[in-house]
Structure 1
């Protein structure tokens, strides 16, 4: 049996390989999520000069919806995705890097906002990724999450659980519980809403130290 660390490493290699294949068509594949991304980002408040971390940035579709004047740190495990994200926008100062979202090369409390869109259901260790997001986000920062989660208080439908092993190989897990991921992370959910025919969740989170 592989150890936890080697299992994560194998998952990362698989993710890097398949997303290298997906890179040329990724924008087309995620076009149905464009409105949801825009809605998620519109729920955040930005000031000129803010530093925005985009976790699992892909070729950078989130950049299309960020206001001009913010700085962007875009990280992804797949070099082909990072190359596309680095040159996507002419209205943002983009710093793009190849990085594991579970071990971000970013200082504590150093970003004003984090976008985690369609990434937590893909990574090998989503709990660790949430912990990293909490670590790098400033105490008064904000986090946008867009992904497929089971309904609160459930384990997902029988069908969803039955097809999950195949879905994990092809694209992502279908059985993540957002509340369980957030619990103990140092973050709190301020808002959540369903999107895309109720199959996806848009959530806004903040560090627990933030008042309000």
Structure 2
């Protein structure tokens, strides 16, 4: 059984909701090519029963296929169409998941609500990723874990002409090829526990980061 509630806020990005609503029916087919990387990323977390896990930008719930039973899962996505499909997936698997329609830049949760947060294929597509990271840091417990899986420009690398042109094409699919992750992780003071290449010649990466305990920044 799943529970769902909707969060409204003044700065909702209606254009992105509309665009990803169009995307929802084919999202599994497109994003399904990353299932193997999702599985590896989630397996590395060694999730335990009772842990509170937040899926930010949960989409159609593809991560749910790899999360063990007994974990308290909350999924958030900007697009109602994505959330409906995620709810269907959770029901098919017999998972009790709470779903929220909301903006990752303004998470409707109290500080310290989660032990683990998954940021899978969101930081390179969502606007204002620095706000997303700040919100994740707020709702994560001290010492909590963040799993990041996405495509990033290597640190210190300047995008060449080919990549800049490719980025214009990627923008049509609501994505960004030239974002770097290092500043996003450094700002809240997260410690990188692992950083592994995750396909496409290292353009995609799997990162596990840890929020410092209180007073350690």
**Fold-level match, TM-score > 0.5?**
yes
Provide the secondary structure at the position in 1 that maps to 2:192.
Answer: strand
1:34: which partner in 2? Answer: 35
Between the two proteins, the alignment pairs up a number of residues equal to: 203
Q: Describe the superposition over 1:38-96 as per-residue Cα deviations: whole angstroms up to 9, x where unpaired.
A: 01111102221111100000010000000111011100000000111123123432000
Alignment of 1:140 with 2:143, yes or no, is: yes
Structure 1: unaligned runs, 5 residues or longer: 1-8
Q: For 1:149, which of 144, 148, 152 is the aligned residue?
A: 152
Is the aligned partner of 1:72 residue 2:73?
yes
Structure 1 stretches of 4+ with a deviation exceeding 4 A read none
Task: Supply the RMSD in Å over aligned alpha carbons.
Answer: 1.9
2:133 counterpart residue number: 130
Q: What is the aligned partner in structure 2 of residue 3 from structure 1?
A: none
- Give the direction of change, closer, same or farther, for the CA distance of 1:124–1:142 in structure 2 (3 Å limit): same
Shift of 1:35: 0.3
Contact residue 143 and residue 212 of structure 2 kept, 8 A: no
Change in 2 beyond 3 A, CA 1:209/1:157: farther
CA drift at 1:181: 1.3
Residues 1:165 and 2:168 are matched in the alignment: yes
Structure 1 residues 1-212: aligned runs within 5 Å:
12-89=13-90, 90-197=93-200, 198-209=202-213
- Given that 1:52 and 1:111 are in contact with CA atoms closer than 8 Å, whether structure 2 keeps it comes out as yes
Greater alpha carbon shift after TM alignment, 130-139 vs 81-90: 81-90
Alpha-carbon distance in structure 2 between the residues aligned to 1:116 and 1:128: 13
Q: CA deviation at 1:180?
A: 1.3
Report the Cα distance in structure 1 between the residues aligned to 2:189 and 2:110, rounded to whole angstroms.
17
Aligned-residue offset at 1:158: 3.1
Change (3 A) 1:113 1:59: same
Q: In the TM superposition, what is the alpha-carbon distance from 1:135 to its structure 2 partner?
A: 0.9
Q: Distance in 2 between matches of 1:136 and 1:10?
A: 20
Q: Deviations over 1:160-209 (max 9, x none)?
A: 12332332232300011110111222322211011123220100011022
Structure 2: give runs of 5+ residues left out of the alignment.
1-9
- Counterpart CA distance in 2 for 1:91 and 1:11 is 31
